[in-house]
Amino acid sequence: MGFAFGYPLVQVVRESFYAGNFASPIWVGLDNYKGVIADPEFHTSLLNNLKLLVAVPVMLGLGLLIALVLNDRIRGGRQYQAIVFLPYVLPATAIGIAFSFLLQQNGVLNTALRSAHLGVLAQDWLGNAHLAIVSVGGLVVWQQLGFGVVVFTAALLALPPETAEAARIDGAGWWALQRRVLIPQIRPIIELLTVIQVITVLTWVFNYVYVLTSGGPGYASSVMELYIWRSFSNGANGTAASVAVMLLGMASVLIGLSLWVRRRAVAT
Amino acid sequence: MARKHVLAALGAVLVLSAAIFASSAASKPAGVVADDPNNATLTYWYWGEDDAPGATNWIKKEAAAYQTAHPKVKIKIVIQSTDTLTSAFTTAAQTKSGPDIATQWATLPVLTPAWNGSSVAISDYVPASETKNWIGTSENLSGGKLWAMPQYLLGIPFVWNKAMFKKAGLNPNKGPKTWTELLADAKKLKAAGITPFGMGNKDGYGGAWFFSLIGKQNLNSIDELKAAMLGKAKFSDPKFSGYLQVLADFKKAGYLNSDVASISFPQGLQLFGQKKVAMSWVTDGNVTAAAKALGGAKAMGVGPIPKWGKGKLASSYDTTQSSSAFITSWSKHPKAAAQFLVFLHSQQAMKNWYAATGVFPADKRFPASLVTDPIAKQQLALDLSPVSVWPENFVPPQVDGNADLAAGELITSGSGSPADAVKLWERELAKWKAQHPDEFKNYTKWVSGG
């Protein structure tokens, strides 16, 4: 265990204090960290990761809503569930490539909008610096939504039917039943999924960004993972390692925080 | 107890694995594998299709032909993509593993791996009697050695659609010779409802071409650019960065295709042949493809890039060997790799190349008599211009990727001003020096003739 997990971690931390290539590293102390902290591209990347966190409540909210509706045993519920889940099983790279064509200025989406006399809504989704990260967030929501729906549906199906039945007999309406009876019972799952999705948008969005925008235009949609990759692929291993250490620190804090919240919730 | 057993088993597996690795390493020391040029398995990371449509099919056919002639040689062609060409090899070089033969763009993308020990000098494996026939070798010289093999000449001519010029009331047989003329033509084309100029810059290469084609025009020699890379001259000097304002003005005037920021560079190269734009600059290979689509010399004009600057390089043409092939330092079969690369310069391979791509091989032995098409003749004359330079080749790869490409994206997306783009260039130059002190030292040495 120590070798499999500990050794790479120690190496990454060690590497963050060196410049140059692996063959002839040059000790630079904290210079990599100082350089990264002073780098506007890193600020943009970090900010974009934080912006993408907005996708988490959207994913969870929509996922929960769909799961609650499907839980009512509506006609064709399983088919709907399969449709919603489908994007999740598709490779992010393939989806990214498809969307990179769909979202071009004269791509399928804008052409359709113009044909429907909604040209005012047609935007340069990938070429506009303000919209590029929004497009990435939209794609993340589109693909990850199915996972939330499946997890929430499974959690709802596992609940004992008696409580919901009792609430109905007591005259609870649909909304009250969901809000006061079902959602509170799956709260631990919601919390768990929140943590998973927060970690996902912090550390697992590279594929989407790389294929859809490559972090552009300029660095407008860059994220920390892309910053790490770009540094590493430029041979700036020390810089890449220092950002990886920072990212690891952030993820560790978030995981610690979530564990603390969980413990507190269980205790109360 | 059970946990102890599991841990003990894991420990044993680790010790055993280490022993196997150690013994296998000891039994196969570097250099023991015989480098028989006629008995080897080679992996070739190849790139060329975006420059010269048809290149990928050609290399696969040549590899197959070579394997038929050399039954004990196996060649695995791995096609590389434009946007990861440099980064993929840099990543492979970190661990000194990957292809036997790699492709990179000429000069610094070739020389940087040479300086950090990732490649071997091709002149150590191919005799001078052969390399003297290759064109453009000066682009890949360092320390008195040649580091890569040129495959083809890549000229970048200016092209215009004659029918669209006519529709806009312009002389279809006279393309713009200066930037002022180009702007005047663009104005008339736009007024006629025609998109004047086409390119793609989602990946930054459209802007990088603007730097190489227009940005060089205020320089008297490429040494001035090298000095700016080393910090001996300021990139903020309009001599170097003036092209950014030109690009910004061009975009602001509405002379570029509206989707310039959201389509890729290769997609942008197709616009001219698809009759979506009236003017563009494309590679020789794409000129050939466009000529087929538009109907030949009668339908399109070809000429040098319009003059904007006042430096001596404003009169230079824009030919480079573009992609160059080199042998990696970790290849166990450098002689076999060199022999295959020489085969690619054989008469038959060159004829096949020209037939497949319409692009001229970078070899003096290529018979000009094969060039019969009037547009191709024009291109060949331009490609063999006495002074030809591609400035992007002289920008360190990291700075090219992080500043040159990104700066153009800022402008074409409208998300940054030329001043922002200049700051980006300066920041990335400083970053390169700080992150790669070894590369900076090598670059300095190379500039001074080392």
pLDDT at A195 over 90: no
When CB atoms are compared, the residue of B90, B263, B415 closest to A233 is B90
d(CA B145, CA B222): 21
Residue with structure tokens 């694995």? B17
DSSP run (H or E) holding B325: strand B323-328
pLDDT at B290 over 70: yes
Confidence of residue B35 (pLDDT cuts 50, 70, 90): confident
pLDDT tens readout for residues A111-159: 999 999 999 999 999 999 999 999 999 999 999 999 999 999 999 999 9
Do B435 and A25 contact (CB within 8 A), yes or no? no
Size of interface A-B (CB pairs under 8 A): 128
Q: How distant is the Cα of B359 from the closest Cα of chain A, in angstroms?
A: 29
* Predicted local confidence at residue B440, as pLDDT: 93
pLDDT at A258 over 90: no
pLDDT tens readout for residues B335-369: 999 999 999 999 999 999 999 998 999 999 999 89
Average pLDDT, chain B: 90
Do B290 and B282 contact (CB within 8 A), yes or no? yes
Verify whether the Cβ–Cβ distance B117 to A130 is below 8 Å.
no
pLDDT tens readout for residues A15-25: 999 987 777 78
pLDDT tens readout for residues B104-114: 999 999 999 99
pLDDT at B168 over 70: yes
* Predicted local confidence at residue B28, as pLDDT: 42
Mean pLDDT of B215-234: 96
Give the number of domains in chain A: 1
Q: How distant is the Cα of A39 from the closest Cα of chain B, in angstroms?
A: 9
pLDDT at B21 over 70: no
pLDDT tens readout for residues B234-258: 999 999 999 999 999 999 999 999 9
Best of A7, A15, A21, A221 to substitute, by most chain B Cβ atoms within 10 angstroms, is A21
d(CA B306, CA B310): 12
CB of B263 within 8 Å of a chain A CB? The answer is: yes
* Residues of chain B found within 8 Å of residue A129, distances taken between Cβ atoms: 413-416
Verify whether the Cβ–Cβ distance B415 to A31 is below 8 Å.
no
pTM over 0.95: no
Strands (E), B110-250: 119-120, 141-142, 145-146, 149-150, 154-155, 158-161
When CB atoms are compared, the residue of B10, B94, B414 closest to A235 is B94
pLDDT tens readout for residues B320-339: 877 899 999 999 999 999 99
Task: Note if the bond before A184 is cis, omega within 30 degrees.
Answer: no
d(CA B163, CA B273): 13
Q: What b/e string do you get for A169-206 counting C-beta neighbours within 10 Å, with b at 16 or more? A: eeebeeeebbeebbeeebeebbeebbbbbbbbbbbebb
In the three-class reduction of DSSP (H, G, I as helix; E, B as strand; rest coil), residue B259 is classed as: coil
CA contacts within 13 A on the Cβ side of B88: 16
pLDDT at A84 over 80: yes
Q: Which two tokens stand for residue A226?
A: 């892309």
Mean pLDDT of B266-291: 93
Is position A199 within any domain? yes
Domains and CATH numbers, chain B: 40-154+321-383 (3.40.190.10), 157-317+391-447 (3.40.190.10)
pLDDT tens readout for residues B75-91: 999 999 887 888 889 88
Cα distances from A240 to residues A9, A30, A33, B86, B408, in angstroms, run: 13, 13, 10, 17, 24
Verify whether the Cβ–Cβ distance A39 to B91 is below 8 Å.
no
Please name which of A213, A263, A238, A198 lies closest in space to residue A49, comparing C-alpha atoms: A198
CA angle, residues B369, B294, A127, in degrees to nearest 5: 115
Q: Which two tokens stand for residue B242?
A: 């003036």
Q: Which two tokens stand for residue B343?
A: 């085969």
Cα distances from A101 to residues A94, A98, A111, A125, A200, in angstroms, run: 11, 6, 12, 11, 25
d(CA A238, CA B176): 49
* Residues of chain B found within 8 Å of residue A40, distances taken between Cβ atoms: 427
* Predicted local confidence at residue A93, as pLDDT: 85
* Residues in chain B, overall count: 450
* Predicted local confidence at residue A128, as pLDDT: 93
* Predicted local confidence at residue A15, as pLDDT: 92
Please name which of B331, B320, B308, B259 lies closest in space to residue B35, comparing C-alpha atoms: B331
* Residues of chain B found within 8 Å of residue A214, distances taken between Cβ atoms: 83, 202-203
pLDDT at B7 over 60: no
Mean pLDDT of A149-171: 91
Choose the weakest-confidence range: A198-202, B8-12, B53-57, B369-373.
B8-12
* Predicted local confidence at residue A2, as pLDDT: 73
Range of the domain at A79: 48-221
Is position A260 within any domain? no
Verify whether the Cβ–Cβ distance B435 to A236 is below 8 Å.
yes
Is position A68 within any domain? yes
d(CA B274, CA A50): 41
Is position A253 within any domain? no
Q: Which two tokens stand for residue B192?
A: 């006629």
When CB atoms are compared, the residue of A19, A104, A234 closest to B398 is A234
Question: Which residues make Cβ contacts (< 8 Å) with residue B119, sequence separation at least 6?
Answer: B102, B110, B113, B147, B148, B326, B327, B328, B329
* Residues of chain B found within 8 Å of residue A22, distances taken between Cβ atoms: 94-95
Is position A180 within any domain? yes
Choose the weakest-confidence range: A134-138, B18-22, B90-94, B422-426.
B18-22
Verify whether the Cβ–Cβ distance A232 to B94 is below 8 Å.
yes
Highest mean pLDDT among A83-97, A249-263, B161-175: B161-175
Average pLDDT, chain A: 90
The torsion region of residue A70 among left (phi > 0), alpha (psi -120 to 50) and beta comes to: alpha
**CB neighbours (10 Å) of residue B103?**
26
Do B412 and B260 contact (CB within 8 A), yes or no? yes
Burial of B78 (0-12, 13-18, 19+ CB in 10 A): middle
Query: What CA dihedral angle connects A256, A261, A262 and A265, to 10 degrees?
Result: 160
* Predicted local confidence at residue A196, as pLDDT: 85
The CATH number for A117's domain is: 1.10.3720.10
As for the ipTM of the complex, it is 0.82
* Predicted local confidence at residue A268, as pLDDT: 59
Mean pLDDT of B300-314: 95
Question: Which residues make Cβ contacts (< 8 Å) with residue B425, sequence separation at least 6?
Answer: B235, B241, B399, B403, B404, B407
When CB atoms are compared, the residue of A218, A231, A239 closest to B410 is A218
pLDDT tens readout for residues A85-99: 889 889 888 898 899
Confidence of residue B13 (pLDDT cuts 50, 70, 90): very low
